[in-house]
Structure 1
Amino acid sequence: MTDIHEKPGGPITVDSSRDSEELTNEVHLNEKRLLFKIDTHVLPILCVLYFLAFLDRINIGNAVVFGLEEDLGMDPKSNQFNTALTIFFVPYVLLEIPSNIFLKKLRPHIWLAGCMFLFGILTIAQGLVKSYSGLLATRFFIGVAESGMFPGCFYLIGMWYKRSDALRRYTYFFNSTTLAGAFGGLIAYGTGHMQGMRGYGAWRWLFIIEGSVTCVVAIVAWFIISDFPEQARWLNEEEQQWVKKRLMADHGDDSVERSIGFRDVVEVLKDYKIFLGALMYFSFLVPAYGYAYFSPTIIESYGYSPLQTQLHSVPPLAMAFFVSLGIAFVSDRVRHRYLFVLFNLLVAIAGIAILLTEHHNTKLEYGALFLVVFGPYCGMPVALCWFTMNLGGHRRRAIGTALQLGFGEIAGIVSTFLFLSKDAPYFHTGYSVAIFFFTLASFWSTCYFLACWSQNRKRDQLIAQDSAEARMAGEGDLDISYRYML
């Protein structure tokens, strides 16, 4: 079995077949203990950070149930609320790639904590607005501040773990959104009892309290967010060496010190698989945001009171939290992604089909929501991890992840107009679009699977033939020895 070596005419590369046990023996470390140490330093704060980011993003869906539109003089029969949702995504989409470049230059703890503090302040301001125009302004700048959160956290996690270890960690992180949806309903239920306190409506207290908590956590996060493995002060020299070798063996040699320029962005964009990953995420995200923003409105249409609506929004997401953890564990054990993505999409399609056809049995309709959440909250983490961890090296992963997430967030613009008040209570347009995009996600996932399978097969053939191309080195996942996870 080969070691780290210099390829003729190329940079240093690593045989990806080297396993972690061999590396562990070299430096005499307890792998499980060190992985646990990494987990406890890296994951908890990022999960809390994204929990609050997603909560501050979607709490407007709970706020509208408490009279936000009436208090700000908005016309419930118009599309003003949908426009307020949409304006968030304009800067969010445009700034994700620049954000990951800044994160790499400034270091993660500075960039992520700074963004977090800013959107906390803006969320408080959202609770103090006096007009519809003020709501639009705060939503826009919350989009600016939050644009660095998801791609930055996703990129950072990917630089700490091997592909075979990653999905469980990504699922813990992604479940922050599931918990945000679930706890958002519980928090909204609590603030519902604050209606009229100090002259503020319940929806204002919702924004003010959640924004204040975000600011406090952001200050703490500055001191405890971990940077890249090469910069982590809580690892000793021997541990850093182990982590570095382990990651090089899995996704290539690309140092954090190497800067990212415009030419790097262009080079990454030449890979068609990047666009397949972006289209896959986009297709998932249209119905995902539809559910995140409008599930309180949908549940309220079943005849529940505002407080009952908030409570009934919790169980489907609580179920998704535990199911997604089980799926992640099994997928990591078998080292396969595609079939798990497809299974969750098919379950979600079945749920949407029930909502499209059943309009008189509210218990069945509510039960169908438990199936719908399989798509965005159980399948999407697998798809995101699959794509992200198939990108090797700092630069390709930073750019590729930001492009996928940035392009995918265009879905937010589409999804905010799916469930219009004029379509209540049956929402045929929203459900029809959702089932279409879940089907489209199945198609793009299949295309990505075939692309990775084809690349792996081609590289096997080149190495077997010992061709000149097989001896040429490439960066990260472009190296001939690299094999994509399927």
Structure 2
Amino acid sequence: MTPRSNVSTSSGNGRLPLECPASIDEHALVTRIDRRLLPMLFVIYVAAFLDRVNISNALTMSLPKDLKLVGVQKNIALTIFFIPYILFEIPSNILMKRFRPRVWLSGCILAFGIVMLGQGFVTTYRGLLVTRFFLGLAEAGIFPGSFYLISVWYKREESQKRFTLYWCSVLIATAFGGLLASAIANMDGIRGHHNWQWIFILEGTSTIVVGIVAFFCVADFPENAKWLNVEERKFVIARARSMDEAQDVTPRDVLAFFKDIGNVLGGVMYLGVVIPIYSFAYFTPTIIRTYGYSVVQTQLHSVPPVAAAMVLCLITAYLSDRAKVRSPFIAFGIALTVSGLSILMTVHHNLAVEYAGICLVAMGTFSSGAVIVCWYVMNLRSHAERAIGTAWMIGFGNCGGIIATFSFLQADAPYYHTGYSICMGATCICTAAAILYCGSAWRKNASSRGETGNGRTFQY
């Protein structure tokens, strides 16, 4: 018999600690969950985000000239992705609950790869718009669905490290995209294709392979996990507070969810941080190109800010889980973002300082964004709330993607005063929403203590 874990598992809702059964080694069980759940989700989103933003690399090549893009057409091509992406977030999470993650997530990433491959063969602006639209439709379920799935497997004090590990897939994709694009830039003319076409062809093909593998490797919800025995499944569900695992999400659940202002604020917080995140993801190569670098040098210089951001994300995750608080780490990330944007708005003739500003923005936005997601999602209390809440947060927040795609226009180069000002305003919105959300959590905890005498239900 496996030795009993010495760790008492708190349900996180003010009730008595949940004792680990004598037949279960809790630490070994969590390690098994990590190995089964996180690697495949990480690979899926590396592929998805890489395919989503690789157009930013293609735009520094000959794509605008070859497709005869003029004016704001390239910005429209970026924006159209977000229309289906935003609209289908909540329906997608509801469908994932019905069809199970293994089927739904693998199907989404497979469809995404097929469309990306097709994007490598477009010859007109209209064709580019069509493929970008279907990319948004295919990816709508991946990011919120993955956060939803992670949230039902872990306790709060374990969650930030796991959320951040998954969040780092965005950073890996951004950094790898720059390195890959710098190599593909030299493939111009091979087999009669332009270098920007090879970006879409190679990455689309890789994503199709990921989709096929994902069907066999993605973990389902705990109640459907055949690789756990019955006792282990019950224990995982109880420790993660997933108390209504057998229920489907109904329209009544959706309406009840939006009656709580705290639930609504999660989307506003994410909107505020997403605008600078997408601005960084889409336009850092364009901004760096204005410093006089070649195409290859531009792609290579887009990597260090991402590496710095990933290091800070991992440090923040460790400290946040250890301290069991979230808001101070969000405040630190916001302070870095404001500092970086202030530099970029005021310094115009010192490349080293401007580049440092880009690094600060990347570090601040990505580190605070990871904590915001974990803070909000893990304060949601049931399967229904997490299905709706993750989709609402990602869906509404990604309206910021639309704003970001029109923030850095070619007419504003090289100083981009409008873009930096929009990012600064969005950061202020994020700050205000986070303060209000913290107040909402405090009020709910006070109400909970008054009614039951128990401790904190909602994290600060």
Compute the TM-score of the two structures, normalised by the length of structure 1. 0.91
Matched residue, 1:238: 231
Q: CA deviation at 1:240?
A: 1.5
Contact 1:88 1:139 in 2 (8 A): yes
Contact 1:456/1:483 (8 A) holds in 2: yes
- Within 5 Å, which residues of 2 pair with 1:44-123? 44-75=39-70, 78-123=71-116
Residue number in structure 2 paired with 1:183: 176
Q: Select which of 273, 290, 311 maps to 1:284.
A: 273
Q: For 1:135, what is the secondary structure of its paired residue?
A: helix
Contact persistence 2:12–2:155 (CA under 8 A): no
Does residue 157 of structure 2 align to residue 164 of structure 1? yes
Q: 1:9 aligns to what?
A: none
Report what 2:211 is aligned to.
Answer: 218
In structure 2, the gaps of 5 or more residues are 1-7
| Correspondence for 1:468 | none
Number of equivalent positions? 452
1:432/1:15 Cα in 2 relative to 1: closer, same or farther (>3 Å)? Answer: closer
State the Cα distance separating 1:367 from its structure 2 match. 1.2
Q: Deviations over 1:352-379 (max 9, x none)?
A: 0000000000111011111001232111
Q: For 1:80-479, what aligned pairs fall within 5 Å after superposition? A: 80-248=73-241, 253-255=243-245, 257-464=246-453
| CA–CA separation in structure 1 for the residues paired with 2:255 and 2:93 | 15
The answer to whether the Cα contact below 8 Å between 2:12 and 2:156 also exists between their aligned partners in 1 is no
Determine the C-alpha separation between the residues in 1 that align with 2:420 and 2:234: 51
**How far apart are 1:274 and its partner, in Å?**
1.1
Which amino acid counterpart does residue 125 of structure 1 have in structure 2?
G
Is the CA contact (8 Å cut-off) linking 2:291 and 2:351 kept in structure 1? yes
Match of 1:23 among 8, 19, 24: 19
Residue of structure 1 aligned with 2:38, choices 30, 38, 43: 43
Aligned CA-pair RMSD = 1.6
Instruction: Report the identity percentage.
Output: 45
- Matched to 2:257, the amino acid is V
* C-alpha distance in 2 between matches for 1:391 and 1:459: 15
Q: Answer yes or no: is the 8 Å Cα contact 2:13–2:457 preserved in 1.
A: no
Distance 2:235 2:259 in 1: 33
Deviation at 1:96, TM superposition (A): 0.3
Deviation at 1:482, TM superposition (A): 6.6
**8 Å Cα contact 2:305-2:363 kept in structure 1:** no
Distance 1:176 1:23 in 2: 34
Which deviations, in whole Å up to 9, do the C-alpha atoms of 1:223-264 show, x marking residues without a partner?
Answer: 01000011111112232132122123xxx5212x21111111
Structure 1: segments with no counterpart, 5+ residues: 4-12, 465-479
Residues 300/267 of structure 1: CA separation in 2 closer, same or farther (3 Å cut): same
C-alpha distance in structure 2 between counterparts of 1:456 and 1:178, whole Å: 35
Tell whether the 8 Å contact from 1:27 to 1:242 is kept in structure 2 after alignment: no
**Cα distance change of structure 1 residues 231 and 407 upon mapping to structure 2, 3 Å threshold:** same
Q: How many Å apart are 1:23 and its aligned residue?
A: 2.1
Q: CA deviation at 1:481?
A: 7.5
TM-score (norm: length of structure 2): 0.96
Deviations 1:178-218 (A, max 9, x none): 11110000010111111110111110000100000000011
Distance 1:14 1:215, change over 3 A: closer
Instruction: Please say if residues 120 and 211 of structure 1, whose CA atoms lie closer than 8 Å, have aligned partners that are also in contact.
Output: yes
- Per mean C-alpha deviation after superposition, the further-off stretch among 205-214 and 229-238 is 229-238
**1:309-329, CA deviations, whole angstroms, 9 ceiling, x for partnerless residues?**
000000110111111101000
Alpha-carbon distance in structure 1 between the residues aligned to 2:169 and 2:364:
16
8 A contact 2:309–2:364 mirrored in 1: no
- Cα distance change on mapping 1:481 and 1:334 into 2, 3 Å: closer
Whether the 8 Å contact between 1:112 and 1:152 is mirrored in structure 2 is yes
CA contact (8 A) 1:23 1:242 kept: no
Q: Deviations over 1:376-422 (max 9, x none)?
A: 21110000100000001101110111111111111111110000001
Superposed displacement of residue 303, structure 1:
0.8
Deviation at 1:271, TM superposition (A): 1.0
